[in-house]
Amino acid sequence: MGSFSFKSSGVTQADAIANELVVTPTPIGIKTPVALGNDDLVVTSTDLVSQLTDNLRNLILTNWGERLGFYQFGANLRPLMSDLVNVDDFDSAAINRIKDAVGRWMPYIDLQDFISTADRTQNKNTAVIQLTITFNIPSLKVIGKKLQVALYAI
pTM over cut 0.85: no
Phi, psi of 65, rounded to the nearest 5 degrees = 90, -10
In a domain, 2, yes or no: no
- For 13-34, what is each residue's pLDDT tens digit? 666 666 676 777 888 999 998 8
Q: Of 7-16, 25-34, 52-61, 88-97, which gets the smallest average pLDDT?
A: 7-16
Which one is predicted more confidently, 88 or 53? Answer: 53
Please count the structural domains in the chain: 1
Taking the C-alpha atoms of residue 152 and residue 123, their distance in angstroms, rounded to an integer, is 12
In a domain, 9, yes or no: no
Which pLDDT score is estimated for 51?
95
Domain coverage including residue 112: 21-153
In a domain, 6, yes or no: no
Residue 96 belongs to domain with CATH number: 3.10.450.40
Which pLDDT score is estimated for 121?
75
In a domain, 47, yes or no: yes
Judged against a pLDDT cut of 90, whether residue 105 lies above it is answered with yes
In a domain, 104, yes or no: yes
Alpha-carbon torsion 99, 101, 103, 106, what sign? negative
In a domain, 5, yes or no: no
Please state, as a whole number, how many other Cβ atoms lie within 10 Å of the Cβ of residue 46.
13
In a domain, 12, yes or no: no
Judged against a pLDDT cut of 90, whether residue 3 lies above it is answered with no
In a domain, 67, yes or no: yes
Judged against a pLDDT cut of 60, whether residue 101 lies above it is answered with yes
